[in-house]
Amino acid sequence: MPRIVIQNLGNLTIESEQVDCKVIEIIHQNGTDWMHACGKKGRCTTCKMIVVRGAENLSPETEPELVYRNQNRLRSNERLSCQSQLMKGELTVRVAEVNKFPHLAYTE
């Protein structure tokens, strides 16, 4: 069963029955806010996640991710949650400082 752990939201753990589902969809289905200014279309980087563990459980990078990586707008440990699909296993991520919502209580 795919599982997402959001480290700096108090190690919030989200389990999903769905496989091959975009990370942001799994997070939103759990009722957790996650920024996405372009409507989850891969046209910005506001939904980026810092991947701590489990990158091997994600789908390959998409064309928009490669473009942003070439522009140095995504670091090697960052992926777009609207483009990445969790294929299996567990994924541990962090919300980037620049993408934090003011109404959520983040942990270190």
Q: What are the sequence ranges of the domains in the chain?
A: 3-98
pLDDT for the residue 108: 86
CB atoms within 10 A of CB 4: 23
Q: How many CB atoms lie within 10 A of CB 92?
A: 18
Name the fold adopted by 3-98.
Answer: Ubiquitin-like (UB roll) (3.10.20)
pLDDT, one tens digit per residue, over 91-108 is 999 999 999 999 999 998
pTM as predicted: 0.94
pLDDT single digits (tens) 9-63: 999 999 998 877 999 999 999 999 999 999 999 999 999 999 999 999 999 999 9
Q: How far is the CA of 15 from the CAs of 1, 40, 82, in angstroms? A: 7, 21, 18
